[in-house]
Amino acid sequence: MDRGYLTDEELDRLANKIFAMKRLEVIRDLFLFSCYTGLAYIDLKHLSADMLRRWPDGNLWIDTKRQKTDVPVHVRLLDVPIRLIEKYGGTTKDGLLFPVPSNQKVNSYLKEIASVCGIDKDLTFHCFRHTFATTVTLANGVPIETVSKMLGHTNIQTTQIYARVIDTKINNDMEVLAGKLNAKAMIRPTTAAVGL
């Protein structure tokens, strides 16, 4: 089963799009939050301020449990999700951080958003967990074990379904390896003629 994800370019296009309709802006912001936290739809829907923690290092984290599996999830918030919390936090009547409509409405609006943004993919909210795993974390050097923990997976095989090893990640990993090995493997020039 192919589990789609957004590329860096598509994610940027989505983030920078100005929508004429407020409902599309809200949905875009919700799945941007998911792209940068890995939260599933149901976990985002139930996210409240008491699930946010300021850790001793000064960074803001989400500390919660996945609704689906009851597995603890700890995700350090990057700038994008922090700005979205500042934008929407406390705007709901029920104490939740975001105004999350039904999954059916969200997926319907995602089709509109894909069309408006010129993204030729069948976007669903689940796509954004895959974007978090692939484009946001793994492609930027976050180890798969860390990604697995942030997604709330109990085994790494589940994370491997989400995570796409993309060519840029392979190239970056090989650059690191080359730097380590090339420094060790100093080949000394020979003074004798080599007959090949």
Per DSSP, the residues of 59-77 read -EEEEEE-TTT--EEEEE-
The pLDDT of residue 179: 85
The pLDDT of residue 105: 94
The pLDDT of residue 164: 63
- Report the percent of the chain where pLDDT is more than 70: 87
Domain count, the chain: 1
Over the stretch 146-165, which tens digit does the pLDDT of each residue have?
988 898 888 888 888 776 66
Spatial strand order of the sheet with 60-65 comes to: 52-54, 60-65, 72-76
pTM over 0.85: no
Q: Does residue 170 sit within a domain?
A: yes
Q: Is pLDDT of 191 > 80?
A: no
Over the stretch 121-138, which tens digit does the pLDDT of each residue have?
988 878 888 899 888 988
Q: Does residue 176 sit within a domain?
A: yes
The range of the structural domain enclosing residue 45 comes to 8-184
- Mean pLDDT within 33-46: 93
Q: Does residue 164 sit within a domain?
A: yes
CA–CA gap between residue 165 and residue 158 (Å, rounded): 14
Q: Does residue 196 sit within a domain?
A: no
The pLDDT of residue 2: 42
Contact criterion met (CB below 8 Å) for 33 and 44: yes
- Mean pLDDT within 103-126: 91
Q: Does residue 3 sit within a domain?
A: no
The pLDDT of residue 125: 78
The pLDDT of residue 10: 94
The pLDDT of residue 63: 92
Which region among 79-88, 146-155, 184-193 has the lowest average model confidence (pLDDT)? 184-193
Find all residues with CB under 8 Å of 100, minimum gap 6, and list them. Answer: 30, 41, 44, 45, 106
Give 195 or 125, the one with higher predicted confidence: 125
CATH of the domain at 67: 1.10.443.10
